[in-house]
Structure 1
Amino acid sequence: MSNYILRLYITGNSLNSQRAIANLLKLCKEELNNQYKVEIIDVLEEPQRAEKEKILVTPTLIKQLPPPLQRIIGDLSNREKVICGLDVISKHPE
């Protein structure tokens, strides 16, 4: 069962895209106990989805579930900002 449904919008295989994917997957693995589903959408391959979601900047992470819907922009390297944006109680307080 996926308690978190996350969509990460990226642009191609850029360094920022790679960093955002790595940061997101690491955080999910460490904090969400396999209760998540991550979908990675490349705006170059699926521009209509990006347009529908009004994605203006990549990388952009959208938390679909649980509510409320949240958007986090950037390479997700600021762990505290991402944890706060996802409403996750960190198991590893810094």
Structure 2
Amino acid sequence: MEPEPFPDFLDPTPADNGPEYVLHLYITGATVNSTRAVRNIKDICEQYLKGRYELLIVDIFQQPELAQQEDLIGVPTLIKLKPGLVRRLVGDLSDRERVLKALGLNAADGAPGHE
């Protein structure tokens, strides 16, 4: 006789709550500003959020319906969905200090700041 499996509520594996940071970057094709924004946010994520983030890059030329849902006022636009309050940054994300502040990060050591 085979042993009965554990019921779901007794599953000993911890629940996967997903990434700590969820970011959406809206761009317009391969323009200079869009390319720069992608490079800048990827650099920041790898330096400060390695293994703790999900980054979705949406080209509004390829997926205009997603851009319409967000009421974008300019592109490139980075939207931080979590943690904390939703934040929007418009531009090429080259002002690293401003981007880190919007993400709630401390530029000195990469540790999360206080929102």
TM-score by length of 2: 0.76
Q: Secondary structure at the match of 1:6?
A: strand
Q: Secondary structure at the match of 2:75?
A: coil
The residue type paired with residue 20 of structure 2 is: N
Aligned to 1:8: 25
The residue type paired with residue 88 of structure 2 is: R
Query: What is the Cα-based RMSD across aligned positions, in Å?
Result: 1.1
Q: Secondary structure at the match of 1:55?
A: coil
Asked if residue 53 in structure 1 is aligned to residue 70 in structure 2, the reply is yes
Aligned to 2:81: 64
Separation in 2, partners of 1:33, 1:89: 15
Structure (1/2) with the larger strand percentage: 1
Larger Rg, first or second structure (1 or 2): 2
Deviations 1:24-66 (A, max 9, x none): 0000000113200100000111111111110121000000111
Q: Which has the higher contact order (CA 8 A, sep 6+)?
A: 1
Aligned to 1:83: 100
Separation in 1, partners of 2:84, 2:47: 21
Task: Quote how far apart the aligned CAs of 1:67 are.
Answer: 1.8
Task: Quote how far apart the aligned CAs of 1:3 are.
Answer: 0.4
What fraction of aligned residue pairs are identical, expressed as a percent?
Answer: 38
- Is there any run of 5+ residues in structure 2 with no aligned partner, and where? 1-17, 111-115
Separation in 2, partners of 1:51, 1:68: 21
- Is there any run of 5+ residues in structure 1 with no aligned partner, and where? none
User: Moved runs in structure 1, 4+ residues, more than 6 A?
Assistant: none
The residue type paired with residue 52 of structure 1 is: Q
Q: Secondary structure at the match of 1:48?
A: helix
Q: May I ask how many residue pairs the two structures share in their alignment?
A: 92
